[in-house]
Structure 1
Amino acid sequence: MKVCRAGGATSIALVGVVALSASAAATPPEGDVERTDLAKGDTTSAVSITSADGQPTTLLVQQLVMHPGSSSGWHTHPGPEHSVITTGTVELQTAGDCAVVPYGAGQSVFIPAGVAHRVANGTPHDAGVVATYTVPAGAPVRADSPDVCGK
């Protein structure tokens, strides 16, 4: 886990950088601000988030620990899911081609709204995942789905 602190000398350095930039309109941090990166991962998948007609949405971030042999079961989400594998390896299966695809620490996964999928840990070690969901406000984050791949 990476923790970033902005304060003291860092704030002074940031003030100097901002002062040198004529086009900078932002203000520098003040006081003691801590930021904690929960996860960071790379993907080559196309990613988009759309809110229909400006309706309110809920953003939910969850940290998951998947113990050996665990599975999410087949399910869907009413909005997109962006996940980063933080430790170990998980296997993702989606309703398109049913292939079991492994993802390891540092990789990210994007699952569009409504796509049935299953995540499992078939290794003898825990796997960590940070999942971010964007769903319509008031909607359940998850709905169970039938096994669309016969596994």
Structure 2
Amino acid sequence: MTSRIRWAAGVALAVLASTSAPVAGATPAQGDIERTDLAQGTTDAPVTIISVGHPTTLYVQQLELGRHATSGWHTHPGPEHSVVSEGSLKVRTAHQCGPVEFAAGQSIFIPAGVPHVVYNDAAETAEAVVTYTLPAGLPVREDAPAACP
């Protein structure tokens, strides 16, 4: 075959494949269904979760910290990914002793095993949606000694 015939045959096959392939339609929702977004936030922290071959447990919690409340220093056996939904929170970690403030719409990522404290030093209540991805069977948190003065 000449290259022109091979080219024409290739074009014909591409057109035939695109026109004769069955198209799958979307399946619409049915019944009484309602979704509620609890929070949305963005982060530039590198996030990696690997649990190949190991069961994990996903926890999602609504966290409310009143005025001058603190979580106390603690760790988690898996990563924590939170979104501040109202007010602002401050976080100190063993790697970043200076407080970092997160406002509504911002995301907080704490890697597994990193001692940290979350607190609200504002006059109003702060809220966050907190997600933990943990090895199955382990507690959500463990108290830790203060990592920073």
TM range (shorter): 0.7 to 0.9
- Aligned-residue identity in percent: 55
Give 1:111's aligned amino acid. I
Give 1:102's aligned amino acid. E
Is 2:88 aligned against 1:79? Answer: no
Q: Give matches, 1:88-127, under 5 Å.
A: 88-127=87-126
Residues in 1 aligned to 2:25 and 2:45: alpha-carbon distance in whole angstroms: 33
Q: Which residue of 1 aligns with 2:49?
A: 49
Bigger drift between 63-72 and 42-51 goes to 42-51
Residues in 2 aligned to 1:23 and 1:140: alpha-carbon distance in whole angstroms: 47
Larger Rg: 2
Residues in 1 aligned to 2:129 and 2:53: alpha-carbon distance in whole angstroms: 27
Is 2:38 aligned against 1:38? Answer: yes
Q: Which residue of 2 aligns with 1:15?
A: none
Q: Which residue of 1 aligns with 2:65?
A: 66
Q: Which residue of 2 aligns with 1:12?
A: none
- Please report the RMSD computed on the Cα atoms of aligned residues, expressed in angstroms: 1.4
TM-fit CA distance, 1:49? 1.1
Residues in 2 aligned to 1:99 and 1:41: alpha-carbon distance in whole angstroms: 22
TM-fit CA distance, 1:26? 5.0
Instruction: Give the 3-state SS of the residue equivalent to 2:45 in structure 1.
Output: coil
Cα 1:70–1:50 shift into 2, 3 Å: same
Residues in 2 aligned to 1:56 and 1:25: alpha-carbon distance in whole angstroms: 34
Residues in 2 aligned to 1:23 and 1:101: alpha-carbon distance in whole angstroms: 50
TM-fit CA distance, 1:50? 1.1
Q: Which residue of 2 aligns with 1:139?
A: 138
Residues in 1 aligned to 2:146 and 2:68: alpha-carbon distance in whole angstroms: 17
Q: Which runs of 5+ in 2 are unaligned?
A: 1-21
Instruction: Give the 3-state SS of the residue equivalent to 1:129 in structure 2.
Output: strand
